[in-house]
Chains A and B, each alone.
Chain A
């Protein structure tokens, strides 16, 4: 049995999802020879640390009750530097302006020779090459399947499962909020603003939806794919971005009458990275509705492979983190 000592940095929805999944999958992990011990959990208020492993159920209950797991004033970087462990699960909120705490956490993890699994897009969008080089120099594993498409396997699908195939392009719907808004606008023949309000009420859209509806979130995911799958050195500035705020119910209806839906489509190839609303035939594999995400990987040998799945949600996203963990430490 291999024991993996890890920390969870960021204990919002995703961090808690990881803790829940580790509890749910304890027996399964043991069956494949893995015991995962979480030695530190850090949220915005501080940390809870136990070198022998914290009680995850207790931490989840405490977080729900008091809004924090913090028992001592320790930051993510301090936990990385002072607590002995080998894996950092980085789930702090995305910040695409500076990389936020996530960037500092990841760099500190690599500098101390730790592996990193993350769901945080910000640092990868801003400093992909620096992070990869630092990880490589330290001999650390660095996996980030959860950053693109939540539960949907796309990076590992392209790089590992489809190994040997040259990927020509990837296109798809990578933002569930935009997909929800466009789907509901057509269903209800309602305006963008009305459906945005509904999405906010349901917690599908953030209070400040700019990041989603202007296509920024999709663009960040494309940057990660451009770098991780196509080997480019792309940043956000390399992406042509148009969001969905101008799409009208009348346009959706006219398109539908001619057999099309309008979807916010992200597209990446070696030549260009592009996000814009596009007309998609109703029977096309990318014409999925609701909050679903979908991606079509166009490969040299296997042709087009399309995957669809839930792009958000704590358990769904954590499932991608779990698969990364097993990819590193499983046999």
Chain B
């Protein structure tokens, strides 16, 4: 999972190394480091914002190890959804159970339908839906699309995917 972490470093040499050691020991992947050298805290520490990727079970260990090294961890926040796409569905979108289609994605835990536009021009005419799906990672997005593809095939819906997504 990807998390953001706000930490505070003492303004003495060698602090960054102490901050990075626990990440390396827990095999976390550091994505960004923003060092706010000009923005001292009232405690005279330097705020640093990290974004890292780590196994969920490692987060607490990383936090504990940082604190052991004398680094204050102010906040840990999960970056849950990093990927987002629009998908068009065409067919009897409503009558084949739109709720059920959305639930299939939502119950994965790693992807959610976050927006839906629907057009039903008339009875016995094809409906169209535009769905926005958010997912935790690219891989999870692909897994969610595979599920949506199976549901669409079962319900005889045409699924129109963005051009940059593996169909």
Q: Which of B90, B163, B167 contacts A251 (CB 8 A)?
A: B90
Contact: B160 with A279, CB < 8 Å?
Answer: yes
Q: Which residues of B contact A267 (CB under 8 A)?
A: 167
Contact: B162 with A248, CB < 8 Å?
Answer: no
Contact: B121 with A265, CB < 8 Å?
Answer: no
Contact: B160 with A248, CB < 8 Å?
Answer: no
Kindly supply a per-residue 1/0 record for chain B positions 149-162, scoring 1 wherever the CB is within 8 Å of any chain A CB and 0 otherwise. 00000000010111
Tell me if B33 counts as interface (CB < 8 A to partner A).
no
- Check A278/B160 contact, CB under 8 A, given A254-B88, A254-B119: yes
Contact: B128 with A254, CB < 8 Å?
Answer: yes
Contact stretch, chosen from A19-27, A156-164, A224-232, A255-263: A255-263
Contact: A242 with B86, CB < 8 Å?
Answer: no
Contact: A278 with B162, CB < 8 Å?
Answer: yes
Contact: B130 with A246, CB < 8 Å?
Answer: no
Contact: B167 with A279, CB < 8 Å?
Answer: no
Q: Which residues of A contact B91 (CB under 8 A)?
A: 246
Q: Which residues of B contact A278 (CB under 8 A)?
A: 160-163, 167
Contact: B130 with A251, CB < 8 Å?
Answer: yes
Q: Which residues of A contact B86 (CB under 8 A)?
A: 255, 258, 260, 279
Q: Which residues of A contact B130 (CB under 8 A)?
A: 251, 254-255, 258
Instruction: Write the nearest CB–CB distance from B95 to chain A, whole angstroms.
Output: 15
Q: Which residues of B contact A242 (CB under 8 A)?
A: 158
Within 8 A of A (CB), among B119-167: 119, 121, 126-128, 130, 158, 160-163, 167
Q: Which residues of A contact B87 (CB under 8 A)?
A: 279
Instruction: Write the nearest CB–CB distance from A10 to chain B, whole angstroms.
Output: 35
Tell me if A138 counts as interface (CB < 8 A to partner B).
no
Query: Residue of A at shortest CB range from B115?
Result: A258
Which among B87, B119, B130, B163 has the highest number of chain A CB atoms within 10 Å?
B163
What is the count of residue pairs linking A and B with beta-carbon distances less than 8 angstroms? Answer: 68
Tell me if A171 counts as interface (CB < 8 A to partner B).
yes
Query: Residue of A at shortest CB range from B130?
Result: A254
Query: Residue of A at shortest CB range from B161?
Result: A278
Tell me if A205 counts as interface (CB < 8 A to partner B).
no
Contact: A284 with B160, CB < 8 Å?
Answer: no
Contact: A274 with B88, CB < 8 Å?
Answer: no
* B residues contacting the other copy or chain, number (CB 8 A): 18
Tell me if A286 counts as interface (CB < 8 A to partner B).
yes
Q: Which of B119, B126, B160 contacts A262 (CB 8 A)?
A: B160
Q: Which residues of B contact A253 (CB under 8 A)?
A: 119
Q: How far is the CA of A284 from the CA of B88 in the complex (A)?
A: 18
Contact: A274 with B162, CB < 8 Å?
Answer: no
Tell me if A250 counts as interface (CB < 8 A to partner B).
yes
Kindly supply a per-residue 1/0 record for chain A positions 19-56, scoring 1 wherever the CB is within 8 Å of any chain B CB and 0 otherwise. 00000000000000000000000000000000000000
Q: Which residues of A contact B117 (CB under 8 A)?
A: 254
Query: Residue of B at shortest CB range from A280?
Result: B163
Q: Which residues of B contact A284 (CB under 8 A)?
A: 163
Q: How far is the CA of A128 from the CA of B87 in the complex (A)?
A: 36
Query: Residue of A at shortest CB range from B125?
Result: A248
- Check A171/B163 contact, CB under 8 A, given A250-B119, A250-B121, A251-B128: yes
Instruction: Write the nearest CB–CB distance from A270 to chain B, whole angstroms.
Output: 14
Q: How far is the CA of A171 from the CA of B131 in the complex (A)?
A: 25
Tell me if A277 counts as interface (CB < 8 A to partner B).
yes
Q: How far is the CA of A248 from the CA of B92 in the complex (A)?
A: 12
Q: How far is the CA of A286 from the CA of B127 in the complex (A)?
A: 27
- Check A247/B162 contact, CB under 8 A, given A254-B88, A276-B167, A279-B86: no
Within 8 A of B (CB), among A192-242: 240, 242
Q: Which residues of B contact A262 (CB under 8 A)?
A: 88, 160
Q: Which residues of A contact B163 (CB under 8 A)?
A: 171, 263, 265, 278-281, 284, 286
Contact: B90 with A279, CB < 8 Å?
Answer: no
Q: Which residues of A contact B161 (CB under 8 A)?
A: 276, 278-279
Q: Which residues of B contact A286 (CB under 8 A)?
A: 163
Instruction: Write the nearest CB–CB distance from B116 to chain A, whole angstroms.
Output: 10
Instruction: Write the nearest CB–CB distance from A175 to chain B, whole angstroms.
Output: 16
Contact: A247 with B119, CB < 8 Å?
Answer: no
Q: 5 A-B pairs, CB-CB below 8 angstroms? A: A171-B163, A246-B91, A258-B130, A267-B167, A286-B163
Give 13 A-B pairs besides A250-B127, A251-B119 with Cβ atoms closer than 8 angstroms: A248-B126, A250-B119, A251-B88, A251-B130, A251-B160, A255-B88, A255-B130, A258-B130, A260-B162, A279-B86, A279-B87, A279-B162, A280-B162
Interface residues, chain A, with chain B CB atoms under 8 Å away: 171, 240, 242, 246-248, 250-251, 253-255, 258, 260, 262-263, 265, 267, 274, 276-281, 284, 286
